[in-house]
Structure 1
Amino acid sequence: MASAEHIYRVIFHNQGKIYEIYARNISDGGLLGFVEIEELTFGERTQVVVDPAEEKLKSEFEGVKRTYVPMHSIVRVDEVEKEGTAKISEADGNVTPFPSSVYTPGHRTD
């Protein structure tokens, strides 16, 4: 019985920009507070036109087996039918991140 291949679109904040990447495997991973993203996919190069944004992402993640993104940086994860174009875009608007730490030093709950 052949299982359907899953493709996930992951959108997250990174250094003031919005990253949109595609991967075949997403999990909560082994690191507390991080989302594990494996098997990143990039579009086929059968077209004459090359997208510079996707090429930049491809070179940035070249040789990466898996990446861990902080949970508070994730905007959304979608399971999609087919892979789209990976891209980096400017973060427009006002986005308020979650607090960086739930546990603060010296805070007691006695």
Structure 2
Amino acid sequence: MSKSENPIFKVIFVNQGQVFEMYAKAIYQSDLWGFLEIEEFVFGERTQVVVDPSEEKLKAQFEGVIRSYVPLQAIVRIDEVERLGVARISEAAAGNVMSFPMPVPGK
């Protein structure tokens, strides 16, 4: 499998009791300790007749956002994908999502 020149990443993270599944072109460790920076969000085109309300809600929520800083412990998974999927929000079921353990600074 060869590396793509313009990779697309699927990022899954927890935010206020909801699981966000989003697509972005740039992800990297932030200069802010304990955060991941996510830039260049990608959403599906509106060429389809069927509109996904969850994706539309995400589009509206992240409209005008240049960069998001997500705490590392909120990240569930990051995948580099070949194709763009549908961004979505779902409710986090109890016991379904586990936060990534974080070391305590100075210990």
Q: Same fold (TM over 0.5)?
A: yes
SS across alignment from 1:72: helix
RMSD: 1.9
- 1:48/1:98 CA distance change after superposition, 3 Å: closer
Amino acid at match of 1:68: Y
- For structure 1, list consecutive stretches of 5 or more residues without a partner in the other structure: none
How many residue pairs match? The answer is: 103
TM-score by length of 2: 0.87
Partner of 1:97: 99
Partner of 2:80: 79
Amino acid at match of 1:13: V
Partner of 2:29: 28
Cα displacement (A) at 1:49: 1.1
Cα offsets for 1:63-101 (capped at 9, x unmatched): 000101000000010000011000001112414535677
Partner of 2:49: 48
SS across alignment from 1:53: helix
Is the radius of gyration larger for structure 1 or structure 2? 1
Q: Give distance in 1, aligned partners of 2:100 and 2:83.
A: 31
Q: Give distance in 1, aligned partners of 2:50 and 2:98.
A: 37
Query: Could you list the runs of 4 or more consecutive aligned residues of structure 1 that deviate by over 2 angstroms after TM superposition?
Result: 95-101
Over the matched positions of the two proteins, sequence identity in percent amounts to: 58
- For structure 2, list consecutive stretches of 5 or more residues without a partner in the other structure: none
TM-score by length of 1: 0.85
